Amino acid sequence: MDLATEKILAEVREGVGWLTINNPERRNAISLDMWDAMRQAVEAFGADPVVRCVVLRGAGEKAFASGADISQFEKERADAEAAMRYATISRAGRDALLGLEKPLLAMIRGFCMGGGLGIAMTADLRIASADAVLGIPAARLGIAYDAQNVANLVSLVGPSRAKDILITGRRLGAEEALAMGLVNRVVSVAELENTCTEITAQIVDNAPLSMRASKLTVKEILRGEGARDDALIVDLGRECFDSEDYQEGRRAFMEKRRPQFNGR
């Protein structure tokens, strides 16, 4: 896959798109170029019918992502105008992740801080190793976390815990993050990649249209009754029932075999 920078790696293996933040010497801090390359990779995965789900991870053993590359702040975020430009590019990358209609899994090892946690929160599932450390140090840098990131945090842990994380700027261990609902599972470092591979193997076998419907329906429900698109939810259900995959699922059940779904 042709990317804008070598610090974002993308490959497809057995129906899974693997997206790696490849800046281990800086604990996978994310630069503007990396944000743009991430957007390109996610959009390519979304358009590839071979890809059934995507795993996002950090290179090396120390971090998933440690947030924005602070060394760029002097140049790229020197004042409000520069910060707005930075936000536009980084938001496009995050919006691509949020807009991905395929299941997205974050494989978290080591530090997952600030913008790195923002990236992880765009995933549908977050699997963390026991040595994971999560947090949002915005209050220690004098910056504000934007509305979308705060909304994602609140939807996962609730308003009281979100304020705890944001106002104190403290670091959370993996088990506390699990208790809060910030991550879905915690496993040992040795089990992390195998656990994620097992989960993606289950996902790859499932019906793409059904998973898409579930993901988009949850998204609409979170908007609240006044804002959600009920017609879209109905259409998603109709699309599933009218699909070849629904017919295949019924036949496979009756024939006591594994279904072979094609996303149509």
pLDDT given for residue 68 in this prediction: 72
- pLDDT score, position 2: 46
The sign of the torsion formed by the CA atoms of 14, 16, 22, 26 equals negative
Beta-bridge mates of residue 62: none
Query: What is this structure's pTM?
Result: 0.88
Phi, psi of 137 (to 5 degrees): -90, 30
Report pLDDT for 70: 62
The CA angle 183-202-12, to the nearest 5 degrees, is 90
Q: What is the pLDDT of residue 101?
A: 95
Task: Report the 3 state secondary structure along the chain.
Answer: CCCCCCCEEEEEECCEEEEEECCHHHCCCECHHHHHHHHHHHHHHHHCCCCCEEEEEECCCCEEECCECHHHHHHHCCCHHHHHHHHHHHHHHHHHHHHCCCCEEEEECCEEECHHHHHHCCCCEEEEECCCEEECCHHHHCCCCCHHHHHHHHHHHCHHHHHHHHHHCCCEEHHHHHHHCCCCEEECHHHHHHHHHHHHHHHHHCCHHHHHHHHHHHHHHHCCCCCCCHHHHHHHHHHHHCCHHHHHHHHHHHHCCCCCCCCC
154-199 tens-digit pLDDT = 999 999 999 999 999 999 999 999 999 999 999 999 999 999 999 9
Residues carrying CATH 1.10.12, the chain: 207-255
Q: Are 38 and 4 in contact (CB under 8 A)?
A: no
* Residue pair 60/101 in contact by the 8 Å Cβ criterion: no
- How many angstroms separate the CA atoms of 261 and 248, rounded? 7
Residues 61-72, mean pLDDT to the nearest whole number:
79
What's the token pair of residue 82? 């520069």
Pull the structure tokens for residue 56.
């996002």
- CATH 3.40.50 holds for 207-255: no
Closest CA to 36 of 76, 83, 96, 84: 96
With a cut of 70, say whether residue 76 has pLDDT above it: no
pLDDT recorded at residue 3:
46
Give 126 or 149, the one with higher predicted confidence. Answer: 126
pLDDT band at 256 (very low <50, low <70, confident <90, very high): confident
CATH class for the region spanning 8-203? alpha beta
- Asked whether residue 258 carries a pLDDT value surpassing 90, the answer given is no
Residue 50 has pLDDT above 90, yes or no: yes
Q: Is 260 exposed, middle or buried (0-12, 13-18, 19+ CB in 10 A)?
A: exposed
pLDDT at 80 over 80: no
Query: Confidence band (pLDDT; 50, 70, 90) for 246?
Result: confident
pLDDT in tens, 84-124: 777 787 888 889 999 999 999 999 999 999 989 999 999 99
69, 26 in Cβ contact below 8 A? Answer: yes
Residues of the chain with CATH 3.90.226.10: 8-203
Quick: pLDDT tens for 205-245.
Answer: 999 999 999 999 999 998 887 888 899 999 999 999 998 88
- Percent of the chain with pLDDT strictly greater than 70: 93
Q: Quick one: CA dihedral 65, 58, 40, 94, positive or negative?
A: negative
Mean pLDDT of 18-26: 93
